[in-house]
Structure formats: C-alpha cells, structure tokens
Amino acid sequence: MARIALLEDDLDQAALVNLWLTADGHQCQAYHSGADFIKALSRESFDMLIIDWVLPDLPGDKVLEWVRERVDWHIPVIFTTGRSDESDVVLALQKGADDYMIKPLRQAELIARIRALNRRSHALGTEPANVLDFPPYQFQPRQRLLTLNGTTVTLTQKQYDLALFLFNHVGRIMSRGHLLESVWGVTPDLNTRTVDIHISRLRKKLELDARHGWQLNTVYQHGYRLENTAS
C-alpha cells in the first residue's frame, strides 16, 4: 500500500483515479489546484505523487520543481498530461519526474507503473529480510525482534511497527497522518495524540537522542524525522 497525493483539476478524472487506487489498496488524497497541493505537501507526507501538467493556477512542471527543491528528491513522481511531443516528455523527466503517462490514463497501466515505482523506491510487497541492520540497532522482521547493541528491546506490536517504519524511511519527514495510515491502518481522523504518545515512548526505549548515532526529531507542525547523526 502507498499513500499517494494526486494533483488533477478535472474532478471526474480525479474521482476515477482515486477509485482505481483505492481498489488496489492505496490511500489517495486528491487536490485540484497547484496551490492546494503545495499547501498539503507543506504539512503532510506521501509515498508517491501523481501530478497533472495543465492546471488552473500553476503549471505542473512548476509544481514539480517546487517538490524537488522543497520536499524530497527521492519521492517517486508520475507526471500526467495530454502532451505527447518528445520534447515535453524530456522536459518532465529533466525536472524530476520518475515516469510519464499520456492521457487518457488507463487503469491497468497506471496501477502497473505505481507498483513498479513502489518496488524500486520502497521494495513494497517483498518478503522481509532475515535481518535489517541500522547499527547499533538490528531488526529481525520474521521474529519481530529489535535489539540495541545485541540486547532485545521490549516493544509492543505498534511500537515495533512504528520503529521499523521510521528506520525504513530514515531522513524523511513523516507526517502524523502518514504514520496513522501506514502503521495503524486508520485514517488521519483519529486523534493524532496517539502518534505523539507512541513516538515519545519509542524515543525513550530506543534512546533515540543521538547517543547511539540516531535521533528522532519532532518537525514543528508537520511530524517526525529519524536521522542518522553519525553519518
């Protein structure tokens, strides 16, 4: 499952794509103007973006430039447009798009491209590795164990899931809504205090205060970011 932000000014097209993505198990949030999209990305985080080129306010390529400069160069972006000239395709890719689709969009093709980008960026849907090393932390996903300097840390199921998710997204700002959907499997309508409490307890249990080379920071009005302070 991916958390996807869709920028599409055609309301019918946005509703249709939202339906396709939801049916494939993804969470989709649609925005209909560049300004609303940028505002949302300033406070929320997503696993993937789908951006239309022609918009009522800002052109999609300018929105993409903003994303690459201000958000995250690594977040996958699919660019969609009715333009089919080679020069347009090249421009979109040069500005940071990972993939390019010509309208009208086709359901099976869009889903296939999303899955391919997910595999490349997050390795979603693969079997968990026997061991995941983030020295001095080590995850054993099959046994759902986490050790610190070789000593097992006692965690609840959600604390373990939250820790694994954060370490798998090192360096990325993760919004509370993103964490609620990805770790708890619920919509952000739930009181986000749930996330704050779990983060506080996890920070203490794992000593994520830079003493072991890792720090779990609060990002004001946005969420949290786990950083490797030793690198």
Looking at the structure, tell me whether residues 105 and 142 fall in a common domain: no
What radius of gyration do the chain's Cα atoms show? 19
Average pLDDT over residues 134-158: 93
Looking at the structure, tell me whether residues 55 and 12 fall in a common domain: yes
Looking at the structure, tell me whether residues 25 and 50 fall in a common domain: yes
Are the C-beta atoms of 175 and 223 separated by less than 8 Å? Answer: yes
Q: What is the pLDDT of residues 133-142, one digit of tens each?
A: 999 999 998 8
Answer whether residue 25 is part of any domain. yes
C-alpha separations of 90 from 62, 101, 133 in Å: 15, 12, 38
DSSP for the chain reads --EEEEE-S-HHHHHHHHHHHHHTT-EEEEESSHHHHHHHHTT---SEEEEES--SSS-HHHHHHHHHHHT-TTS-EEEEES---HHHHHHHHHTT-SEEEESSP-HHHHHHHHHHHHHHHH-TTSPPPS-EEETTEEEETTTTEEEETTEEPP--HHHHHHHHHHHTTTT--EEHHHHIIIII-S-TTS-THHHHHHHHHHHHHTT-BSTTSEEEEEETTTEEEEEETT-
Q: What gap in Å lies between CA 186 and CA 165, rounded to an integer?
A: 15
Expressed as residue numbers, the domain containing 183 is 132-228
Average pLDDT over residues 26-40: 96
Answer whether residue 127 is part of any domain. no
Average pLDDT over residues 90-119: 90
Is the preceding peptide bond at 136 cis, omega within 30 degrees of 0? yes
Q: What is the pLDDT of residues 36-90, one digit of tens each?
A: 999 999 989 999 999 999 999 999 999 999 998 887 667 899 999 888 788 888 8
Per-residue confidence (pLDDT) for residue 127, from 0 to 100 = 45
Q: Give the number of other CB atoms < 10 A from CB of residue 133.
A: 10
Per-residue confidence (pLDDT) for residue 73, from 0 to 100 = 67
Label residue 93 by pLDDT band (50, 70, 90).
confident
Average pLDDT over residues 201-212: 95
Per-residue confidence (pLDDT) for residue 157, from 0 to 100 = 87
Residue 126 has pLDDT above 50, yes or no: no
Structural domain count of the chain: 2
To 5 degrees, how large is the angle CA 26–CA 29–CA 33?
Answer: 145
Q: Give the number of other CB atoms < 10 A from CB of residue 39.
A: 12
Looking at the structure, tell me whether residues 118 and 24 fall in a common domain: yes
Average pLDDT over residues 181-204: 83
Average pLDDT over residues 169-180: 90
Looking at the structure, tell me whether residues 114 and 140 fall in a common domain: no
Burial class for 94, CB neighbours closer than 10 Å (0-12, 13-18, 19+): exposed
Looking at the structure, tell me whether residues 107 and 196 fall in a common domain: no
Looking at the structure, tell me whether residues 92 and 155 fall in a common domain: no
Residue 191 has pLDDT above 90, yes or no: no
Are the C-beta atoms of 178 and 3 separated by less than 8 Å? Answer: yes
pTM confidence score: 0.72
Per-residue confidence (pLDDT) for residue 71, from 0 to 100 = 78
